[in-house]
Structure 1
């Protein structure tokens, strides 16, 4: 089995695939100028950093935050709630490299991260729950009962009063 080394320029804007204008347009549309910033390219060398992917959603009774944190243990994550600002931070430690090891591909990222989210008014700070299971962090911030949507019953004529005989 042959190991093929891949260069990061293979994922960039310019590819050596010929001069097909349709392929060039597809490359242009897929190009993400912020990818270079998130990878931390400094002075021609790449500083690898860990930036976890988050999913944030609102349900009828809470706000749910999910983050992919592979390789991080519970004690490596710090979650704080100050007022209506939720901050999730942590660090993914780099594994020890032996001098005699020869890496063919090294794409895993390590380092510290911090993400902050501003929540709307009406959250129940006393009942926030967080769980890290199978590399996925799940934080549930419940809404106070008074700010949760309530169903209003619509009455027809004569339903609210006794019918007069």
Structure 2
């Protein structure tokens, strides 16, 4: 028989975490669109990274079909919209817990002027949407080659001519 230590504060901490989760959903700012509480919303996580050639975003959107994702660029704003619908079947199901988030999402990003927004590539694989935004040629780093001299002074070079 194992002895389990009783901790009355553990239940309080669990309740507090759950309430924080509920209130954070209501505190999430909307993007000017009114959403009913029934539709819900979620914010998919995004990784943004940059290399000398491009800026890339990886957005986790599992359970959403690629044709249900809308990607738009206006001026310097990239907007990604989508919706994960709660699939219900005709048979009666008794859920004990629903932890996955459903509803619509909108993510907007301000892009720097150094990106070529006409050449954006989008790829969807294993529930991850990858957007690659190439940099304009003038924004890419340039390597300057150093010429190796003969060791002669400028006066000696002119005299040799």
RMSD (Å), alpha carbons: 3.5
Using the size of structure 2 for normalisation, the TM-score is 0.70
Unmatched tracts of structure 1, length 5 or more: 1-15, 21-26
1:93 paired residue number: 85
Matched, 1:17 2:17: no
Change (3 A) 1:126 1:36: same
Point out the structure with the larger helix share.
2
Shift of 1:115: 0.5
Shift of 1:104: 1.5
1:39 paired residue number: 25
5 Å matches for 1:14-163?
A: 17-18=7-8, 35-40=21-26, 48-96=40-88, 98=90, 100-155=92-147
Shift of 1:149: 0.9
Unmatched tracts of structure 2, length 5 or more: 1-5, 28-36
Equivalent residues of 1:62, 1:140 under 8 A apart: yes
Question: In 1, distance between residues paired with 2:142 and 2:23?
Answer: 45
Larger Rg belongs to: 2
Shift of 1:36: 4.1
Using the size of structure 1 for normalisation, the TM-score is 0.68
